[in-house]
Amino acid sequence: MAQHIEKAPAENVTAVLGPTNTGKTHLAVERMLGYASGIIGLPLRLLAREIYDRVVAQRGAGAVALITGEEKILPANPRYYVCTVESMPLGIQVEFLAVDEIQLCADPDRGHVFTNRLLHARGRYETMFLGAETMRPVIKRLLPEAHFVTRPRFSSLSYAGSCKLARMPRRSAVVAFSADQVYGIAELIRRQRGGAAVVMGALSPRTRNAQVALYQSGEVDFLVATDAIGMGLNMDVNHVAFASLAKFDGVQHRPLWPAEVAQIAGRAGRYRNDGSFGTTGEAGLLDEMLVEQVETHRFDPLRAIKWRNARLEFGSLRRLIDSLETPPPVRGLGRTRQASDIGALKLLAADNEIARLSANPDAVRRLWQVCQVPDFRKVSPDSHTRLLAELFHHVMSDAGVLPEDYIARQVNRLDRADGEIHTLAGRIANIRTWTFVANRSGWLRDGAHWQGRTREVEDKLSDALHERLTQRFIDRRTSVLMRRLHQKEELMASLTPEGDVLVEDQFVGKLKGFRLEVDPQVSGAESKMLRTAAHQALQGEIAARAFRLERHARIDEGKIITIDPEGQILWENQPVARLLPGHDMVSPRVDMIADQELLGDQAVASLVETLGGWLARHIARVL
């Protein structure tokens, strides 16, 4: 193997390494804004949007561009570019350049893109790579001139063992690794704790931001997320619980790597607030050695990172494939797993008609561009390849662009906000494909129109999905009342003329005399919580009722207080006590029909005595 690799100079490169919650991304943004121009590459579209909004707030929309595979916001003269790593415009000269989560150089699928940026992407005056300490030996070997800065974590991270969902501390994030598992856990939390927000990488930024807002505002105290939470999404999380310690990585179901556990667990405790991590459900306990690694942030260094040749040859399909499969030039660089773009290229190259159309370098280059369309739908490789073949035939037609009626059909069939969560999520995955297509230069006659149209449909679907997620996974009544109880705030209660008890405008049951009937549609822990909230809120009303009843019992002559045929004492047409046998026929005892906890022992004893006096006078009058 040759021991030489092409790379850009690294004298102005700084590697800022450390665990999560060390302010690395914040540092890079501040450094970028200190220059006249800059580019920052981020690992997720969600995070790119978050950083874009932050930079716009400081420099104004006219100074900032956002470039991801599915979204482009390009003002006339941007100074700063916030991008996903794959979408960084490397042909632009800027004073500062940064790439976040550089340890993703080792990712089997995307690693080659991060490695390419590590080797070739540079700012004129300063270049910054942010990531885990595990990258230090690799960067030292490949870029010996680079400077290193270590960032210590601002707060401590400690292991808390296993915990049931019912006992999970507030401000917790539960992490799972499939949509079905996320939804199942969120449903359990809704029943037991009032609800949870949901965050997954497949959500659009609009849906994700709306869900996060529910959590950040305190409307819910729990978050259920996939490992997307591990990549820079900053939220006020005190505890992270793993519902699973294994995930499907696109090829196999495997245990989480220690560094992955640390990346996710590190979301607990922001800035100087300490955090904790643990497990829940069937995940079991964490290995002691793994716990020590996570708590001390010490992991085995990466020995190799992924690489793919970026100097592609478009002379023919065969030459393109061969150039993509060029072996790594030095030790420490490994082949990337066959990505979907190469897989699609090989399948399409085997099609005689596609091969015929790809007879010149421009056509080969265009086919490779088509192969870059991600498989958001995840239906099957064959289905995705058929879509790519359709796109290629259209862009290679005499018109050279996608027909208006073709893309209109694709987009219009997705412009529906009906359906449940899975249906809406599927439509969002589909519209993401067409958003990506609309953002390809030269594929549409009116690209700006279709960018706006696909964004409009995605926003519509995103709002509908947020609404369905909220309806399904948040019991607003339980959530509101639990929050008020925890904050020890005075609860506002009201009674309707029909006896409905509303606490903080939420129906909790009916008050009949001195007895609370909790909403019969709930049971278990939720019923207990509603009763607790109602008891706290109704203390003033119950005391007032007891005072009125005692006053009426002293002056009434059988008009306000009566006895029904079943031997119940009625007050204001509600049963408040029952008659029990006494020491003789004309001396029955009085037993209150009341929630003892709601009324209190002293009030019960006082009312029994007062009603006993009323009963004796009533019997004397009648007899």
Instruction: Check if the beta carbon of residue 390 is closer than 8 Å to that of residue 409.
Output: no
Q: Which of 346-355, 417-426, 443-452, 595-604 has the lowest mean pLDDT?
A: 595-604
Tokens 């119940």 appear where?
A: 568
The three-state secondary structure class of 86 is helix
If one compares 524 and 451, the residue with the highest pLDDT of the two is 451
Q: For residue 198, what are the CA distances in angstroms to 15, 26, 226, 247, 319?
A: 33, 25, 9, 18, 45
Which residues on adjacent β-strands are paired with residue 296? Answer: none
Alpha-carbon dihedral sign for residues 276, 261, 171, 243? negative
Tokens found for residue 309: 């040749």
String of DSSP letters for 6-18: -----TTEEEEE-
Query: Do 454 and 411 meet the contact criterion of CB atoms below 8 Å apart?
Result: yes
Q: What are phi and psi of 147, to 5 degrees?
A: -95, 150
Nearest in space to 160 (alpha carbons), one of 20, 265, 16, 83: 265
Which tens digits make up the pLDDT trace of 523-559? Answer: 556 666 667 777 777 778 888 888 988 888 888 666 7
> Distance between CA 305 and CA 335 in Å, rounded?
8
Place of tokens 């589909």: 430
Distances (CA, A) of 362 to 316, 348, 359, 395, 519: 10, 16, 9, 12, 69
DSSP strand pairing (64-67 vs 72-73): antiparallel
> Which residues are paired to 577 by β-bridges?
569, 592
In this prediction, residue 573 carries a pLDDT of 85
What mean pLDDT do residues 85-94 have? 95
Beta bridge partners of 275: 157
Rounded to 5 degrees, φ, ψ at 500 are: -70, 135
Sequence-distant (6+) residues with CB within 8 A of 79 are: 36, 37, 38, 59, 63, 64
Q: For the chain, give the mean pLDDT.
A: 89
Note whether 281 and 167 are within 8 A (CB). no
What SS3 class is residue 522?
coil
DSSP helix/strand/coil, 516: strand
CA dist 153 and 557 (Å) reads 76
Per-residue pLDDT, 291? 94
Q: Is 572 helix (H, G, I), strand (E, B) or coil?
A: coil
For the chain, how big is the Rg over CA atoms in Å?
Answer: 33
Question: How does DSSP classify residue 488?
Answer: T
Instruction: Give pLDDT, residue 251.
Output: 78
Q: What is the dihedral of CA 353, 355, 358, 361, to 10 degrees?
A: -170
What span, in angstroms and rounded, lies between the C-alpha atoms of 580 and 273? 60
Q: Tens of pLDDT along 144-173?
A: 999 999 988 778 899 999 999 989 999 999
Q: Is the pLDDT score of 581 beyond 60?
A: yes
Backbone angles phi, psi at 416, to 5 degrees: -140, 130
3 state SS of 98: strand
Amino acid at 199: V
Residue 218 has pLDDT above 90, yes or no: no
- Per-residue pLDDT, averaged over 206-229, amounts to 90
**Pair of tokens at residue 465:** 């999905």
Displacement of CA 83 from its chain's centroid (Å):
20
Is residue 1 scored above 50 in pLDDT? Answer: no
pLDDT of residue 346: 95
pLDDT at 440 over 50: yes
d(CA 250, CA 127): 32
Check whether 77 has a pLDDT greater than 50. yes
Helices 340-349 and 317-324, packing angle to 10 deg: 150
pLDDT score, position 524: 59
Domains and CATH numbers, the chain: 13-150 (3.40.50.300), 157-296 (3.40.50.300), 306-473 (no CATH), 486-537 (no CATH), 544-622 (no CATH)
Which of 230-244, 504-518, 566-580 bottoms out in mean pLDDT, i.e. has the lowest? 504-518
* Adjacent-strand bridge partners of 306: 334
239 closest CA partner among 223, 227, 255: 223
pTM of the model: 0.77
Q: Is residue 88 over pLDDT 80? A: yes
Residue 2 has pLDDT above 60, yes or no: no
